[in-house]
Amino acid sequence: MFSQSKGTKTRLQGQNFRSTYSHIGIYILSMARAATTSDAFNAIAEPRRREILSYLALRERPVGEIVASLRLDQPSVSKHLKVLRRVGLVRVRCEGRHKFYQTNAEAIRPLHEWAGTFERLWQRQLQGVRQLAEECMKKSNSQLIPKERS
């Protein structure tokens, strides 16, 4: 059973756990979670990191431009870039005191390939829905057309 109040002790399968809540659900604090820097999949679990990756996909950009365009705090952007850099999803180029970040396409390939398996599934399902809709339209159209009387 889960308790509904914030930051409470929770009883689950006969054991007591300390739990906390976020906008995506309940976390049981005593359960191990993978570090965001353990792999690319964990790193992109955070929506702001995905937003930063998308923004960097077009070209190399300095931190200030990322901050201004995405309207995020500079410390937050730096933290996210650090995580993305650790897992190899972005590259950094230093020019004097300035750092320029760019998406690392080779490191994103495994993510793309994994998501591609689901894209094929979605395409097959959408084709099935399309065929079903076309069949329904043919049936409804045939019912609307009056048969000729002889």
- List, for residues 14-55, the tens digit of each pLDDT value: 555 555 555 555 555 555 555 666 778 888 889 999 999 999
Domains of the chain: residue spans and CATH: 1-31 (no CATH), 34-143 (1.10.10.10)
- Of 9-18, 111-120, 128-137, 141-150, the range with the highest mean pLDDT is 128-137
pTM over 0.85: no
Q: Are 36 and 83 in contact (CB under 8 A)?
A: yes
Q: In the chain, what percentage of residues exceed pLDDT 90?
A: 43
110 or 74: whose pLDDT is higher?
A: 74
Quote the pLDDT of residue 55: 95
